[in-house]
Amino acid sequence: MKTAKKLLSLLLAALLLASCASAAFGAEAVRTCPEIYVHGFMGTNIYADKDDPNSDVIWPPDMNGILTDVKAALPSLLTSLLLRDWKGFGDKALSLVDPYFSPVFYGEGAEPINNSGVETYPLYYVAPDSELTFLYDWREDPFKTAADLNDFINEVCERAGVPQVNIRAHSYGGVVLVTYLTLYGNERIRGAVFDSTAIYGEAYTGDLMKGELQLDAKALEDYLNYAFDGSEYSELLQEVLRSARVIGLTDALVRLGDELLANQGERVQRELLMPMYTNWLPIWAMVPDEDVDAAMHYVFDELCADQDRSVLRAKVEAYNEKIRPYKTETLKALNESANVYVLVRTGFSSLPLTPSGSNLSDGTVDTKYSSFGATTADFGKMLPADVIASRDPAYISPEKDIDASTCLFPEQTWFLRGAKHSPSYPAIGAFVTQLLNEPTQQTVNTVEGFPRFLATESTSSPLHPDTSTAPDAPVSGIRKAQNIIERLRTVWAQLRKLLDMLLQWIQK
């Protein structure tokens, strides 16, 4: 009898312990070390004088000022465009943007041409559960920024009295983090979330640095829909764009744009992109590996053949030699010692000014790059049937445009359809914190409610399992004709609305 009571007591104790353990695992995780956010490219304001917090903000530019100047110059710009006065158009357009962009230019040696920079704040008190942002000048050499991050992490650990930190890196912030890890090691990192990072590059950046400018009607329409998605004009714009495509207006505008690029593209490269893009070393770090040789040849051997760019070239080559070949090795090493998670925002087309405009992306970073190697179809299309058939269905997205099995960390990579690159999504921030605060490495199979493929409808919407479906079958010829008639019936009324909107904007 006593033995039976003892066995019953042991059984009840075991059940009680099991229930406590289960409740602890399901409860909200408690932050045990500081969380550092490493923002992306253009993620902080640039001041005219970094030593004077009261100086003017020179980046981002004053959009109200730009709109005012554009409205004033619009008649002459349109006149030059219609007359195909390409040089006159270029003169006017570049004179418009120069006052807003030139203050943030770097010199030919990838050095500041003025005392502009980011205002930083000293650390005073840091608790073990602090949330901090690493502020840095996103125009600077990745090596300098990595050194500053190293100092920042060491100071945070010292002030908080902890040996490690968690890090969330977004966009170019992933490049900063990988550069830091390659140079300084991963001993200080407990966990890391790579949120739509450009570690492996951006296709459009490679295209721009190779001098490849190109307009595509479908890519332009897709990107305008992306840019205005969620605005009060979204539905109207979508229908106007579709109608414009049906009646051939979009193609005509693209042909005009291609002619403009053919005549003024190199000038734009020399007078705007070179003192900005090519002189900013972070841009070089975001050129995809497969494009870097062609980009260097175009910039240094063709576009700048008549200039001495040896200092800039040496700095670019330093990154190519010391960081670029070791990115995957660095990430794998981190995965061995820390909890690593990859979040991939997706569901949109890329920038429409280059040949990669049809790439599946988050509007900026291509899905294949931010996922560390997923196989993807072009935006709005599906993977080849043989690829879909040969893969485990668990790795194929509901829209059948992503194969996650080829990712570097397939079980630690989540795809967030409908999430754009730049906007703040509270639901994503909460998910990041949840992942970083878990005591052990989690996967797409262990985080309840967060499978591999997720979706969101807006910046304020929650993340939920992706229930979208593959694109419909091609529309029949008869249905296409019916669609054209339906659209032509509404195009006039919608164009009138659009003209009214433009007139109201001009009159403001």
Q: How far apart are CA 347 and CA 453, in angstroms?
A: 11
Q: Are residues 372 and 423 in the same domain?
A: yes
- The β-bridge relationship of strands 348-349 and 360-361 is antiparallel
Q: Which pLDDT score, from 0 to 100, does residue 86 have?
A: 85
Q: Which pLDDT score, from 0 to 100, does residue 6 have?
A: 40
Domain assignment of residue 38, yes or no: yes
Q: What is the pLDDT of residues 345-399, one digit of tens each?
A: 999 999 888 899 999 999 999 999 999 999 999 999 999 999 999 999 999 999 9
Q: Are residues 337 and 366 in the same domain?
A: yes
Query: How many structural domains comprise the chain?
Result: 2
Q: How far apart are CA 268 and CA 110, in angstroms?
A: 19
Q: Which pLDDT score, from 0 to 100, does residue 160 have?
A: 95
Domain assignment of residue 384, yes or no: yes
Q: Which pLDDT score, from 0 to 100, does residue 196 have?
A: 98
Q: Which of 353, 284, 277 shows the shortest CA–CA distance to 320?
A: 284
Round the average pLDDT of the chain to a whole number and report it. Answer: 85
Phi, psi of 419 (to 5 degrees): -95, 120
Domain assignment of residue 504, yes or no: yes
Q: Which pLDDT score, from 0 to 100, does residue 7 have?
A: 36
Contact 466, 454 (CB under 8 A): yes
Q: How far apart are CA 112 and CA 231, in angstroms?
A: 37
Q: How far apart are CA 258 and CA 84, in angstroms?
A: 12
Q: Are residues 496 and 421 in the same domain?
A: no
Q: How far apart are CA 100 and CA 135, in angstroms?
A: 22
Q: Are residues 419 and 290 in the same domain?
A: yes
Secondary structure of 205-260 in the HEC alphabet?
HHHHHCCCCCCCHHHHHHHHHHHHCCCCCHHHHHHHHHHHHHCCHHHHHHHHHHHH
Q: Which residue has the higher pLDDT, 455 or 84?
A: 455
Q: Are residues 213 and 292 in the same domain?
A: yes
Q: Which of 264-268, 282-286, 462-466 has the lowest mean pLDDT?
A: 264-268
Name the pLDDT band for 167 (thresholds 50, 70, 90). very high
Q: Are residues 485 and 357 in the same domain?
A: no
Name the pLDDT band for 189 (thresholds 50, 70, 90). very high
Domain assignment of residue 19, yes or no: no
Q: Which pLDDT score, from 0 to 100, does residue 234 have?
A: 66
Domain assignment of residue 86, yes or no: no
Name the pLDDT band for 72 (thresholds 50, 70, 90). confident
Contact 279, 110 (CB under 8 A): yes
Q: Are residues 303 and 443 in the same domain?
A: yes
Contact 218, 363 (CB under 8 A): no
Q: How far apart are CA 475 and CA 75, in angstroms?
A: 41
Q: Are residues 425 and 492 in the same domain?
A: no
Q: Which two tokens stand for residue 167?
A: 């890090």
Q: Which pLDDT score, from 0 to 100, does residue 140 have?
A: 95
Radius of gyration of the chain (CA): 26
Q: Is 304 exposed, middle or buried (0-12, 13-18, 19+ CB in 10 A)?
A: middle
Q: Which pLDDT score, from 0 to 100, does residue 392 have?
A: 96
Contact 199, 174 (CB under 8 A): yes
Q: Which pLDDT score, from 0 to 100, does residue 3 have?
A: 41
Domain assignment of residue 123, yes or no: yes
For the whole model, what pTM was predicted?
A: 0.85
Q: Which residue has the tokens 């695992």?
A: 25
Q: Which pLDDT score, from 0 to 100, does residue 213 have?
A: 82
Q: Are residues 452 and 479 in the same domain?
A: no
Q: Which two tokens stand for residue 247?
A: 């009646």
Domain assignment of residue 14, yes or no: no
Q: Are residues 448 and 490 in the same domain?
A: no
Q: Domain range spanning residue 487?
A: 475-508
C-alpha separations of 236 from 416, 481, 503, 504 in Å: 26, 21, 16, 16
Tell whether the model's pLDDT for residue 226 goes beyond 90: no
Name the pLDDT band for 489 (thresholds 50, 70, 90). low
Q: How far apart are CA 157 and CA 152, in angstroms?
A: 9
Q: How far apart are CA 163 and CA 160, in angstroms?
A: 9
Q: Which two tokens stand for residue 48?
A: 């005219």
325: cis peptide before it, omega within 30°?
no
Q: Which pLDDT score, from 0 to 100, does residue 491 have?
A: 52
- DSSP assignment of 435-458 equals HHT-SS---TTTSTT--SEEE-SS
User: To 5 degrees, how large is the angle CA 295–CA 299–CA 300?
Assistant: 110
What's the rounded mean pLDDT across residues 463-468?
94
Q: Which pLDDT score, from 0 to 100, does residue 197 have?
A: 98
Q: Which pLDDT score, from 0 to 100, does residue 28 have?
A: 47
Q: Are residues 461 and 504 in the same domain?
A: no
Q: Which of 49, 285, 34 shows the shortest CA–CA distance to 145?
A: 285
Amino acid found at 237? L
Q: Are residues 482 and 370 in the same domain?
A: no
Q: Which two tokens stand for residue 505?
A: 């904007």
Domain assignment of residue 3, yes or no: no
Q: Which residue has the higher pLDDT, 36 or 90?
A: 36
